Amino acid sequence: MPLSEFALIQRYFSHCGALRADVSLGVGDDGALLDAPHDQTLVAAIDTLVSGVHFPPDAAPASVGHRALAVNLSDLAAMGASPAWALVALTLPAVDEGWLEDFARGFSALAQLHGVALVGGDTTKGPLSVTVQVMGFVPRGKAMLRSGGAHGHALFVSGTVGDAAAGLALEQGRLILADATSASRLRARFAFPTPRTALGIRLRDFAGACIDVSDGLLGDAGKLAAASGCGVDLDVDELPLSADLLAALGTEEAQRLALSGGDDYELCFSVSAARVAELERALPAHEWHYRRIGALSNVAGARVTRAGTVMQFSHFGFDHFV
């Protein structure tokens, strides 16, 4: 006999994620009761993942649970917020207990790592899709905005970029690699992205603007720049590329994917030139894993340079700008 909706929620979602003292009432009633700290600003974000659009229909359910939360935690990280609570709206074609168990396990493991309690949600029947809302806090006036950049700010990105796009291409059979270890690391960058929560919180003290890289570095850095009333110059030779990506694609194609590929969930942030040394002292780059990739400029739009030469960038690769 299939599980009733009530039993399903009880079994998989009533004890999911971290236990938090600020949850007076979690899953089970008509609404959750949450005690927001009075001296902080509540930060809320929501994202929907639709099967066949944001993840392959046959994606491992643990990955779907992880990603649905990770993409939201990444938004909070970009604001400099500490995550606290999540709600999940699940639309399922049928009750598949194996799928639900793995989904909840993937979600819960990441939620526990980041101290997030699952406090409610909704469960409906229909084509598979997952919506997660997260809430967190930031001290008043300390949130990082996309608009906090200025001409002359240095621009940085965390981690490595392009890996998730390569991972998705591997997953979909558009890319094939002989090195199985390397392939599985790249796939994991797509299937189990790491939200940069701790970095986001520390960057509050240094960054002007911040955005998370979900749609590709070039586009997202461009959004940050535009919101800040600036343009952006990116040095293609400074892009942080993983050894796996370089070995898989070679430098040129790896750089192209690093600029245009999505789903990395790294942080791209600007720091005023006067504060760069302070940032590097407080958060050593070799410990916190970020790299300077360019600067905000006073010329609108995004420009990619190689050794000082402006490159024309297209989906087919690089050409010298003519």
Residue type for position 10 = Q
Which does residue 28 touch among ligand ADP, Mg ion, none (CB within 5 to 8 A, set by kind)? ligand ADP
Taking the CA atoms of the chain, what radius of gyration do you get in angstroms?
20
Of the pair 29, 287, the CB lying nearest ligand ADP is at 29
Which of 160, 108, 126 is CA-nearest to residue 285? 160
CB of 83 to Mg ion, least distance (A): 23
Binding segment (CB under 5 A) for Mg ion, from list 26-34, 119-127, 185-193, 207-215:
119-127
* Structural element, H or E, at residue 120: strand 117-125
Structure tokens at 35: 């005690």
CB of 121 to Mg ion, least distance (A): 8
Of 124 and 314, nearer to Mg ion (C-beta) is 124
Helix (H) or strand (E) run with residue 218 in it: helix 217-227
| Residue in the structure block whose two tokens are 């789903």 | 263
Q: Hey, which residues between 43 and 72 contact Mg ion (CB under 5 A)?
A: none
5 binds Mg ion (CB under 5 A): no
C-beta of 54: minimal distance to ligand ADP in Å?
Answer: 18
Q: Which of 35, 122, 179, 319 binds Mg ion (CB under 5 A)?
A: 122
In what order do the strands lie in the sheet containing 40-50?
Answer: 40-50, 129-139, 82-92, 117-125
Nearest to 69 by CA among 50, 46, 51, 53: 46
Nearest distance in Å: CB 287, ligand ADP = 36
For Mg ion, the closer of residues 2 and 28 by Cβ is 28
Using CB distances below 5 to 8 A depending on partner kind, what does residue 104 bind out of ligand ADP, Mg ion, none? Answer: none
